[in-house]
Amino acid sequence: MNSSSIARQLVRRRHAQGFAYIWTLLLVAFMGVGLVLASDLYATAARREKERELLFIGHEFRNALERYYASTPNDGRPRYPLTLQELLQDPRSANAKRHLRRLYADPVTGKAEWGLLLQQGRIVGIHSLSPQLPIKQDNFLDEDAGLRMKAHYADWVFTYPANLFIAQKDGEKKSGLSLGMK
């Protein structure tokens, strides 16, 4: 072999090493983009799951409020509970009567705190305290039609009866209802 052929082989090796380096950089870049896309998909799927949980828990509270209201005490007047604890252990009954198995945590905030809708000091509904924008904006059950096109999870209100909350034209809440915090 002469010196010119050795020089050409060295140049080819350097070019080959340069291309391998470029391909490695491109592979790392594509993997990074793929991971970003996968993490976005995962985050969206996780938020959708939290929304499904919020709907389930809201229905559980609504059903518990319905059972509490329907369980008329001795005076014959149905009423709503004063606290959420009364849904766990109904104080109006001598026997242990549970309308709700446990007080659920808000799946969106992760806290066991709920916004309370009060009417004459009694709880008629609950709502999340999260200011996040919901992903789900439509295709709710008929009983949840009031949840359509809401700007925040905090606007997802679960009352008994389901249509107790009536929005006014200017977006204000129906008179007689007040928001309380727990």
96-152 per-position pLDDT tens digit: 788 999 999 999 999 999 999 999 999 999 999 999 999 999 999 888 888 999 999
Amino acid at residue number 125: G
Confidence category of residue 162, pLDDT binned at 50, 70, 90: confident
Task: Give me 105's structure tokens.
Answer: 């945590």
The arithmetic mean of pLDDT across residues 35-42, rounded, is: 93
DSSP letter at 124 equals E
Higher pLDDT, 97 or 55: 55
How far the first Cα of the chain sits from its last, in Å, is: 88
Task: Give me 178's structure tokens.
Answer: 């007040």
Length of the chain, please? 182
In the prediction, which pLDDT does 108 show? 94
In the prediction, which pLDDT does 4 show? 65
The pTM assigned to this predicted structure is 0.74
Q: How far apart are CA 9 and CA 113, in angstroms?
A: 72
Q: Which residues pair with 11 in a beta bridge?
A: none
* Secondary-structure percent of the chain, ordered helix, strand, coil, rounded to 5: 45, 10, 45
> Collapsing DSSP states into helix, strand and coil, what is residue 128?
coil
